[in-house]
């Protein structure tokens, strides 16, 4: 049985890039022949977004050929009250005591609540007696794993508050095969449980903030096998740093062209040019260099920083040339030589002020 697991899509507007991402995930599910599509919270960014999008969700979540199960997250915890209908194939797991049974799988949902670790542990212990080896058990959870070394920014723009905090040890008494989690946006992360199961954050399938860099992923796996990263072509932020080196044989403009040619089509770039150039060698001053760079990156960047400097004067200095000759005679590796060149360049730049 194939299962697709994701979280934190944060839908806001019909037809925007987040909506198109959800459409793409449904299409991947159909292409891959999945039987379960599991969303571990924050399908919607706010309750009002759920109200406006529900008619479209009903259409998208019906006649898919697979079952869709989801839990409320901290952003959309008020979006599923009163038995609202979200589609023919959709099950809202808003009550821990009412799991979804599908073939030989039991899916337990822990809907988000602003509760303490003690209360969460109590919830988990309450379902432990109902788990047995006759079926596979999946727990959907939306919150913060305290065992992991995350920064607060890795959870999107949530501030300093902890959300449904748990530890891996809380699942020690459960015969659980997978804890499929949401809330951690940044990247795909897998932990092993004591009894052999897996705790998985898939990361957001579309960049919600600039902190979620790199091509996005989902968890697409076979039941009874390990979680699997699955790369998806969705809008995301990409950090690109070009370090100019006047001692490199490669022209920095050519290096920049090559880097941008490898970027996915949906990448929006946070771009920085740093290091040093030799304006004499590349045949352009700093202003001309920036103009060439902007022609290459133009519509791809959401941020641009230019922190490079033209050091042609230093490179032509007799003292610096003498230093380079002595450095070439040493048996230092290239990394150390590069480090020493940078130190001397910065010292000479400071001395020239």
Residue 155 belongs to domain with CATH number: 3.60.21.10
- Same domain, residue pair 88 and 178: yes
The residue whose two tokens read 């040493």 is 330
Domain final position from 212, 231, 250: 231
pLDDT at position 150 over 70: no
- Same domain, residue pair 193 and 206: yes
pLDDT at 161: 59
Domain final position from 211, 231, 251: 231
Query: Which residue, among 218, 302, 310, has the nearest Cα to 29 in the 3D structure?
Result: 218
- Range name among 24-38, 120-134, 224-238 with the lowest pLDDT average: 120-134
- Same domain, residue pair 168 and 57: yes
Number of independent structural domains in the chain? 2
Query: Which residue, among 91, 90, 105, 107, has the nearest Cα to 1 in the 3D structure?
Result: 105
Report residue 219 as tokens.
């968890």
- Per the CB < 8 A criterion, the answer to whether 60 and 39 are in contact is no
- Same domain, residue pair 183 and 289: no
Phi, psi (degrees; rounded to nearest 5) at 296: -80, -45
Domain final position from 213, 231, 249: 231
Q: What is the pLDDT of residues 240-282, one digit of tens each?
A: 999 999 998 888 999 899 999 999 989 999 999 999 999 999 9
- Same domain, residue pair 224 and 243: no
The one-character DSSP state at 17 is H
Q: Where are the alpha helices (DSSP H) in 72-116?
A: none
Query: Which residue, among 59, 147, 164, has the nearest Cα to 109 in the 3D structure?
Result: 164
Strands (E), 71-226: 90-92, 100-102, 105-110, 136-142, 178-182, 189-192, 198-201, 217-222
- Same domain, residue pair 251 and 314: yes
Q: Facing residues of 138 across strands?
A: 107, 178
Report residue 308 as tokens.
């490079």
pLDDT at 152: 46
- Same domain, residue pair 144 and 11: yes
Residue 13 contacts by C-beta under 8 Å, 6 or more apart in sequence? 19, 49
- Same domain, residue pair 208 and 335: no
pLDDT at 229: 97
- Per the CB < 8 A criterion, the answer to whether 145 and 168 are in contact is yes
Q: What is the pLDDT of residues 60-105, one digit of tens each?
A: 999 999 999 999 999 999 888 777 889 888 999 999 999 999 999 9
Per-residue CA distances from 234 to 157, 218, 241, 303 (Å): 20, 11, 21, 19
Residue 122 contacts by C-beta under 8 Å, 6 or more apart in sequence? none
- Per the CB < 8 A criterion, the answer to whether 117 and 165 are in contact is yes
- Range name among 160-169, 239-248, 312-321, 334-343 with the lowest pLDDT average: 160-169
pTM score: 0.87
pLDDT at position 173 over 70: yes
Report residue 262 as tokens.
């490898």
User: Widest CA span of the chain, in angstroms?
Assistant: 80
- Same domain, residue pair 38 and 183: yes
Confidence class of residue 228 from pLDDT cuts 50, 70 and 90?
A: very high
Other CB atoms closer than 10 Å to residue 276's CB: what's the count? 22
- Same domain, residue pair 193 and 272: no
| 3-class DSSP state of 285 | coil
Give the integer Cα–Cα distance in Å for 347 and 353.
10
Query: Which residue, among 105, 113, 116, has the nearest Cα to 139 in the 3D structure?
Result: 105
Structural domain of residue 189, as residue ranges? 2-231
219: left (phi over 0), alpha (psi -120 to 50) or beta: beta
Give the integer Cα–Cα distance in Å for 239 and 271.
6
- Per the CB < 8 A criterion, the answer to whether 89 and 67 are in contact is yes
- Same domain, residue pair 112 and 184: yes
- Same domain, residue pair 181 and 216: yes
């Amino acid at each position: 049985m194939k299962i697709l697991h994701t979280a934190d899509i944060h839908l806001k507007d019909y037809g925007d890039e987040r909506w198109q991402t959800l459409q793409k995930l449904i299409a991947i599910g159909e292409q891959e022949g999945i039987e379960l599509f599991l969303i571990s919270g924050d399908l919607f960014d706010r309750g009002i977004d759920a109200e406006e999008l529900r008619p479209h969700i009903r259409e998208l979540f019906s006649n898919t050929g697979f079952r869709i199960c989801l839990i409320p997250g901290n952003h959309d915890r008020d979006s599923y009250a009163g038995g609202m209908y979200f589609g023919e194939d959709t099950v809202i797991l808003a009550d821990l005591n009412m799991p979804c049974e599908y073939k030989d799988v039991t899916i337990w949902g822990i809907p988000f609540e602003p509760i303490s670790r003690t209360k969460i542990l109590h919830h988990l212990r309450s379902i432990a007696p109902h788990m047995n080896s006759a079926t596979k058990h999946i727990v959907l959870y939306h919150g913060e794993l305290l065992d992991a070394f995350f920064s607060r920014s890795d959870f999107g723009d949530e501030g300093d508050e902890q959300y449904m905090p748990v530890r891996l040890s809380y699942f020690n008494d459960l015969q659980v095969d997978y804890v499929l989690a949401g809330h951690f946006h940044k990247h795909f992360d897998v932990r092993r449980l004591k009894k052999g199961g897996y705790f998985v954050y898939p990361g957001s399938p579309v960049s919600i903030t600039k902190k979620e860099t790199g091509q996005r992923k989902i968890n697409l796996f076979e039941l009874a096998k390990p979680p699997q990263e699955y790369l998806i072509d969705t809008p995301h932020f990409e950090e690109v740093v070009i370090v100019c080196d006047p001692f490199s044989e490669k022209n920095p403009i050519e290096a920049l062209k090559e880097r941008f040619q490898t970027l996915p089509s949906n990448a929006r770039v946070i771009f920085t040019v740093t290091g040093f150039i030799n304006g004499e060698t590349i045949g352009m001053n700093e202003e001309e260099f920036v103009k060439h760079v902007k022609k290459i990156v133009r519509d791809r960047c959401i941020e641009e920083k230019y922190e490079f400097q033209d050091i042609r004067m230093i490179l032509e200095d007799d003292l610096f040339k003498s230093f380079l000759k002595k450095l070439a005679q040493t048996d230092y590796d290239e990394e150390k030589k590069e480090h020493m060149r940078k130190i001397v360049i910065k010292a000479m730049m400071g001395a020239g002020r």
